[in-house]
Amino acid sequence: MENIRFVAVDEAYKRTPVEAVPPARATSEYYGCNVFNRKAMRKYLSSETRQRVYESIEEGVTLDRYVAEQVAAGMKRWAMDLGATHYTHWFQPLTGGTAEKHDSFAEPYGKGESLEEFTGKLLCQQEPDASSFPSGGLRNTFEARGYTAWDPSSPSFVIGDCLCIPTVFISYTGEALDYKAPLLRSKLAVSRAAENVLTLFGIKGDRVQSYLGWEQEYFLVDSALYAQRPDLILAERTLIGHNSAKNQQLEDHYFGTIQGRVLEFMKDLEFECYKLSIPIKTRHNEVAPNQFEIAPVYEEANLAIDHNLILMTIMRKVADKHGFKVLFHEKPFAGVNGSGKHCNWSLGTESGIGLMSPGKTDMDNLRFLTFMANTLKAVYDNNALLKASVLTATNAHRLGANEAPPAIISSFLGAQVTEAFEEMIESHDMVKIDGKRGYSSGIPQIPELLIDNTDRNRTSPFAFTGNRFEFRAVGSSANCSKAITVLNTIMADQLNRYKEAVDRRVAEGEDLEQALIDETRETIIACRKVCFDGNGYSAEWREEAAVRGLDREVSPPRAYDNFTSESTVALFSRTKVMNETELAARAEIDWEIYSKKIEIEARILADLTENHILPVAIRYQSVLLDNVTKMKDIFGVNEYRKMAEGELSTIKEIALHVSDARSMAIEMERMADAALESPTERDKALLFCDEVAPRLESLRKHIDALEMIVDDQMWPLPKYRELLFIR
């Protein structure tokens, strides 16, 4: 029976787009059918083996070879029953995407026969020859060994004919070559640190998890139009294009009725997600035309990130079936909103205590304020590092470009939490007056906090939203591991400091409750400057932020210096998340990727200018010249001047734009060539940032002006008004 159902669902996956209506069945019937979850394990693994796997997932116990052998055998049978013929170690290289190299189960034996083989060794560890991935110097070419190792805490899954096994990717010497390994280490660090702080509140043995609920924004473009835009194909953003007369001014797209073709795509996508246990909850139109959002229910952060990456992969496939291309770029179109991937982050215990949720008792609320204060302190102390973790060539178009959110990391708390902290700070002396259990009179008010009642501030990059923080600066194309690893790590370190400080107070004779109150009060006082509830876009805030000592850097290559600063290296080694070499490698790779992205854009734009736009502009100019000459012939010199006034000025205008655009394109390429000569990746990235990136913008102004002049029928590329409105 089980098998029949799996096959039936798989058949539905193969349907053509026209028929691709999700089956009229309850989601729960097929949810997770392509995941090696507990249900599948019950069928394919012995109870003893299952027990060992659960221990490994829950307690991080390493599986021995014998158990791994059993798991591999069961997993292979399960995957083959779903039609899988191949397997892959699925990992997250520092390029930002995901990597897979498919190997067949087929193993020849004897004379001309074969059998399906998949051993425990193949499950646990592989050595893909992945020497072409950027490693930031972690792997010299002569010792280019990199290993992928199974992460049992994220379940394996089948997509199409391939069994995908989530893995970490590490070097011969144990350094992380991927995003998952540091994330797992940071999760461990923050869990331990939070568990230690919880013991101060009398909570012991309740494991802490970091949770993540991402909100993925994206654009859809019709495949046929996309195919005519070399910039979209090669850079995933339009490097030129005049604003459409109507774009998002009317705010009629946001939360609007979802267009039929798009809705079919979304349904199909959700169907695929549910089969892979990705708990999609929300779909809606976003602010910009053709912009949408998809969001799941939050999960443990490692799983949530794997799910986000799987989603991004299957979104492209499903979009293809529906004649769409998905754009994950943070700013595919100038003049309309860009896309982010808000990361809703929190810590919670396995028994269900939300550490960023107010509770019912005074002690619960002291715990809540403690975790809030520590989060804010961690963010305040490391605001520049946190920004560096999300700043990229593509996300730089959002951050600091007068668009949500600004490039200064501050936190919005809402009126109630702010007031609670203010009372806590002031009530130092009031404690005695109130006479209540010896601590702040401000605290008992907090139970009145209604979770739904958090006011919103859309401009804040790190906003408290009732039971979690919403980190909004993360870019839509990012692997959110980068940001979450930094968040977990800075939080772990801060919680460790907090615990030490409270222990010290107690050792000096202070009462534990009083020590908690005093230390939390001091923590919040020390980081109040990170709290900002005003307009994050205003010029005044930029000035004010400088006074408060918050980082205002907007250039990605300069921000990356934060990865290798003395304080970052010390922080990451204290928490055992990354060593100095790993951090240096990340900075190196980020500089490299930054330069490459800008260089690619510069080459595309120069090509578009020279080969697509200028020839057409000149051709149109010739048409006008021809017309003017004929007018002159017919009407004579005196009369034609007045009649052809408009044409003549247009001819001049075209000439100016053409000559400016041409010289700018040449200059931009020259600067790109010069940047490539730089001695270090950092120097190169700085030149691309300072000399090449701004030229992309100034050059496009001439092209966009030409777009408004040249005959529409001659214009060689689809325009914004076509790209942005799906019919």
Note whether 720 and 247 are within 8 A (CB): yes
CB of 200 to ligand ADP, least distance (A): 22
Which of ligand ADP, Mg ion, none binds 532 (CB below 5-8 Å, type-dependent)?
A: none
Is 414 a residue that touches ligand ADP (CB under 6 A)? no
> Least distance from C-beta 215 to Mg ion, angstroms?
4
| Candidate list 276, 295, 569, 617; residue touching ligand ADP; CB under 6 A | 295
Which part of the chain contacts Mg ion (CB under 5 A), choosing from 210-218, 324-332, 348-356, 387-395? Answer: 210-218
Of the listed pieces 122-130, 291-299, 396-404, 435-443, which binds ligand ADP according to CB under 6 A? Answer: 291-299
In the list Mg ion, ligand ADP, none, the entry touching 344 (Cβ below 5 to 8 angstroms by class) is ligand ADP
Phi, psi dihedral angles at 476 (to 5 degrees): -65, -25
CB of 304 to ligand ADP, least distance (A): 8
If one asks whether residue 498 binds ligand ADP (CB under 6 A), the answer comes out as no
Question: 294, 266 in Cβ contact below 8 A?
Answer: yes
Choose the contact partner of 180 out of ligand ADP, Mg ion, none; CB within 5 to 8 A by kind.
none
Q: Per the structure block, which two tokens stand in for 4?
A: 């029949």
Of 20-28, 113-121, 213-221, 373-381, the segment contacting Mg ion by CB under 5 A is 213-221
CB 85 to ligand ADP: min, Å: 35
Q: Which of 346, 395, 488, 609 binds ligand ADP (CB under 6 A)?
A: 346
| Shortest separation between residue 628's beta carbon and ligand ADP, angstroms | 56
Q: Which stretch binds ligand ADP (CB under 6 A): 185-193, 340-348, 384-392, 630-638?
A: 340-348
* From candidates 215, 236, 518, 553, binder to Mg ion by CB under 5 A: 215
Count of residues that interact with Mg ion, criterion CB under 5 A: 1
Binder of residue 126, out of Mg ion, ligand ADP, none (CB less than 5 to 8 A by kind): none
Residue 531 β-bridge partners = 411
Look at residues 84, 223, 217, 243 and name the one whose alpha carbon lies nearest to residue 157: 84
Name the residue nearer to Mg ion (CB basis): 215 or 518.
215
Residue number, 178 or 306, with CB nearest to ligand ADP: 306
113 membership: H or E segment, kind and range: strand 113-116
Region label for 99, one of left (φ > 0), alpha (ψ between -120 and 50) or beta (otherwise): beta
Q: Which of 93, 128, 354, 461 contacts ligand ADP by CB under 6 A?
A: 354
* Burial environment of residue 154 by CB neighbours within 10 A (0 to 12, 13 to 18, 19 or more): buried
In angstroms, the CA 273 to CA 307 distance is 9
Q: How far is the CB of 293 from Mg ion (least distance, A)?
A: 5
Among 224, 250, 297, 708, binds ligand ADP (CB under 6 A): 297
- Distance in Å, CB of 454 to ligand ADP, minimum: 10
- Does residue 330 touch Mg ion according to CB under 5 A? no
Q: For residues 179 and 577, is the Cβ–Cβ distance under 8 A? A: no
Stretch near ligand ADP under the rule CB under 6 A, chosen from 32-40, 338-346, 386-394, 508-516: 338-346
User: Smaller CB distance to Mg ion: residue 215 or 599?
Assistant: 215
In the complex with ligand ADP, the residue whose CB is nearer, 242 or 468, is 468
Task: Please choose, out of 63-71, 292-300, 475-483, 596-604, the segment that lies near ligand ADP by the rule CB under 6 A.
Answer: 292-300
Q: Which is nearer to Mg ion, 286 or 381 (CB)?
A: 286
Long-range contacts of the stretch 254-261 (C-beta < 8 A, 24+): 254/285, 254/286, 254/287, 255/284, 255/285, 256/285, 257/285, 258/283, 258/284, 258/285, 258/292, 259/726, 261/322, 261/323, 261/324, 261/726
Taking the complex as a whole, how short is the minimal distance between the CB of residue 297 and ligand ADP, in angstroms?
4
What's the CA gap between 273 and 28, in Å, rounded? 12
Nearer to Mg ion, 285 or 562 (CB): 285
How many residues lie near ligand ADP (CB under 6 A)? 15
Tell me how crowded residue 60 is: count the other CB atoms within 10 A of its CB: 11
The residue among 286 and 691 lying less far from Mg ion, judged by its C-beta, is: 286
- Binding part of the chain for Mg ion, among 212-220, 344-352, 393-401, 450-458 by CB under 5 A, reads 212-220
Alpha carbon distances (Å) from 453 to 238, 369, 413, 449: 40, 17, 12, 7
Q: Which stretch binds ligand ADP (CB under 6 A): 313-321, 364-372, 466-474, 696-704?
A: 466-474
Q: Minimum distance between the CB of residue 295 and Mg ion, rounded to whole angstroms?
A: 5
Which 215-234 residues touch ligand ADP, going by CB under 6 A?
215
Which span sits near ligand ADP by CB under 6 A: 251-259, 464-472, 521-529, 536-544? Answer: 464-472
Q: Interface with ligand ADP includes 344 (CB under 6 A)?
A: yes
Left, alpha or beta for 98 (phi > 0: left; psi -120 to 50: alpha)?
A: beta
93 or 296, CB closer to ligand ADP?
296
Q: Which stretch binds Mg ion (CB under 5 A): 209-217, 222-230, 245-253, 446-454?
A: 209-217
Determine the Cα–Cα distance for residues 396 and 402; give it in Å rounded to an integer.
11
For residue 419, the tally of other CB atoms under 10 A from its CB is 15
Residue whose beta carbon is closest to ligand ADP: 213
Single residue of 36, 118, 211, 462 touching ligand ADP by CB under 6 A: 211
| Nearest C-alpha neighbor of 10 from the set 75, 73, 79 | 79
Q: Does position 468 bind ligand ADP by CB under 6 A?
A: yes
243's tokens: 């604003």
Whether 156 and 164 have beta carbons less than 8 Å apart is answered as yes
At 688 the three-state DSSP class reads: helix
**The total number of residues written for the chain in this structure:** 727
Distance between CA atoms of residues 188 and 575, nearest Å:
9
Which listed option, ligand ADP, Mg ion, none, makes contact with residue 570 (CB within 5 to 8 Å by class)?
Answer: none
Q: What span, in angstroms and rounded, lies between the C-alpha atoms of 573 and 569?
A: 6
Minimum distance of Mg ion from residue 282's CB (angstroms) = 6
Q: Are 227 and 322 contacting, i.e. CB atoms less than 8 angstroms apart?
A: no
- Both tokens of residue 10? 């798989």
Which residues in 580-639 contact ligand ADP (CB under 6 A)?
A: none
Contacts of 569 (CB under 8 A, 6+ apart): 580, 583
CB of residue 535 to Mg ion, shortest distance in Å: 21
Q: Which residue is nearest to Mg ion (CB)?
A: 215
Q: How far apart are CA 170 and CA 236, in angstroms?
A: 30
CB-hemisphere CA count at 13 Å for 565? 12
Closest CB to ligand ADP among residues 410, 467: 467
Q: Where do we find the tokens 């806590």?
A: 424
Rounded Cα distance, 531 and 586, in Å: 29
Residues 271-290 that bind ligand ADP (CB under 6 A): 282
Question: Which ranges in 561-692 belong to alpha helices (H)?
Answer: 566-574, 580-607, 614-643, 645-676, 681-687
HEC readout, 649-665: HHHHHHHHHHHHHHHHH
175 vs 217, beta carbon nearer ligand ADP: 217
List residues near Mg ion by CB under 5 A: 215
List residues near ligand ADP by CB under 6 A: 211, 213, 215, 282, 295-298, 344-346, 354, 467-468, 470
